[in-house]
Amino acid sequence: MNSRRSLLFWLAPLLFLGVFFFYPLFRIFELGFEVSVLSDPRAWQTSITALRFTLFQAVLSTLLTLLLGLPAAYLFARYHFPGKPLLKALTAVPFMLPTVVVAAGFNALLGPRGWVNLVLMRWFDLAAPPVHFLYSLWAILVAHTFYNTTIVIRVVGNALQHSNPRLEQAARVLGADRRRVWLQIILPLLRPAILAAGMLVFLFDFTSFGVILLLGGPTFATLEVEIYIQALQLLNLPVAALLSLIQITCTLFFSVLYSRYIRRAAVVSEQRPSEMNLRSPAGWRQRLFVGLMVSVLITLFVLPMASLPLRSVTRLEPERGERTGFQAGLTLDYYSELFINRRSSVFYVPPIQAAGNSLKYAGMTVLLSLVLGYPAASALARPGRLEKFLDPVLLLPLGTSAVTLGLGFIVAFNSPPLKLLKSPWLVPLAHTMIALPFVIRSLQPALIAIPDRYRQAAAVLGASPWQVWLTVEWPILRRAVLAAATFAFTVSLGEFGATSLLTRPEYPTIPIAIYRFLAQPGGMNYGQAMAMAAYLMVLTTAGILLIEWVRVPGTEEF
């Protein structure tokens, strides 16, 4: 690609990144380096406390995820069993689910009004819920494991199923037992993949926001949550900016480590076809392992999400008489209430209006992401020196948390010449910044797959550039474009971090409305939160399944 055409392709994406990513980050740096903040001991004490807990919970969450993910990766990489494709797809769904849906799912299963507590209260005639899961460290750890186990399954499982089986066979012939084969052959080969998966899991746990806020409660505050508290509740933007600087520095450091290890893992994972390592379980030990792991994965990944829609159609009424507990009955009242402003208040926004806001923002995000992502993906499909330099620049938003991005928007766009805080485009612009790397990575493989000789042949036959694109490129690209649009739509629909800082009270999205309902007392508020979360879960899951169906083969790895 000639340099002039390449610059035209890059003009809009780079301008967008400059205005809506680098400029907000520059304003955060400018605010965070104010002398008044750097010399404030309370600001540093707040930062150190938040950083210490952020590292603590991220390390524990990563270890717990590896503890479950490594046996699960071995299960999918080495064994055939009934329902394997469906179970593997179910393990991938949580990774794309919005945090408010996950919080609502665990609330419906293990919360004070959740199924586990309701069953135990009824069976043992208890007056109060016996299981106190929410607002605890365990809630944070289990939710992070729920989210990120699929990373270990994909990264480590991919390396394991493509490893050379002859190395293990040779070690067995030389007299090594199963333990020595694992310690001296398999683990050294898997070490880069394990480190890459662990580093990526740690990065996501380190930047976690919604899980901590919704399931951890006021007792626990990571850097992300503390940024939210300082910016919105205490209105202390300089301290929030200092926290953001610490968060950005740490995440960029961890992102560099991940990039280093994932390159090493890629070398290991392309040695042999996966079919050479797959087998059916033989013997009672292997059958016990497969059965136990399948049961654990179903319990972790299916029960919380199945509890959510069931709880959204269940009304609980206190039992009459001496017996304590509740009677459960089916109802659609929670869904019908989504359309009603029963308070007749001008300040109350019906949940269905929040759903409309989310769909509108998602549509705007799809439009912006495709307009900006297509030219960048086209340039990257035929890379030159400029593209090799700019490719990692496009991934920088992935190393920045959504909360930090939201804070940057507040600082940068609160005064002329870019006073955009009241603009209806501000939330979609933030969503586009988050979705853009996914859109580019969805389009790029499809563009690479189009041979230049197809375009040349069409041009020789007299086709104009527009006809070449319409008759040659579009039939090949349309599945990738649909996958990219679905990615952008799904990301926008469930985004909570940046939206919680940027959305105006009169224009809430579905995740914001769910958070508000969960924070309010009353059975009706709780039921409406469950109904909206079930609605969002269905939309998100449908989007994920559509992406898996239409995506270009070979683009499913992290």
**What is the value of pTM for the model shown?**
0.81
Q: How far apart are CA 362 and CA 356, in angstroms?
A: 10
Alpha-carbon separation of residue 263 from 5, 290, 463, 470 (angstroms): 31, 31, 41, 36
Q: Give 225-282 pLDDT, tens digit per residue.
A: 888 888 878 878 888 888 888 888 888 787 777 766 666 655 544 455 555 667 778 7
Q: Give 284-317 pLDDT, tens digit per residue.
A: 888 898 899 999 998 888 888 888 888 888 876 6
Mean pLDDT, residues 341-363 taken together: 76
Three-state secondary structure call for residue 37: helix
- Judged against a pLDDT cut of 80, whether residue 424 lies above it is answered with yes
Sign of the C-alpha dihedral, residues 399, 404, 410, 416?
Answer: negative
Sorting pLDDT into bands at 50, 70 and 90, what band is 558? Answer: very low
Question: How crowded is residue 299: how many other Cβ atoms within 10 Å of its Cβ?
Answer: 10
Mean pLDDT, residues 124-136 taken together: 85
The whole-chain average pLDDT of the chain stands at 81
User: Which pLDDT score, from 0 to 100, does residue 320 have?
Assistant: 55
Containing 326, the helix (H) or strand (E) segment is strand 326-330
- Judged against a pLDDT cut of 70, whether residue 541 lies above it is answered with yes
| Residue 249 structure tokens | 């520095």
Q: How far apart are CA 250 and CA 425, in angstroms?
A: 30
The full set of domain ranges for the chain reads 1-28+343-558
Residue with the bigger pLDDT between 247 and 344: it is: 247
Cβ neighbours of residue 419 under 8 Å, at least 6 residues apart?
413
CATH topology of domain 1-28+343-558: MetI-like fold (1.10.3720)
Q: How far apart are CA 200 and CA 202, in angstroms?
A: 5
Angle of helix 41-78 relative to helix 283-301, nearest 10 degrees, comes to 140
Alpha helices in 33-136 (DSSP H): 35-38, 41-78, 84-96, 99-110, 115-123
Mean pLDDT, residues 89-108 taken together: 83
User: Which pLDDT score, from 0 to 100, does residue 328 have?
Assistant: 64
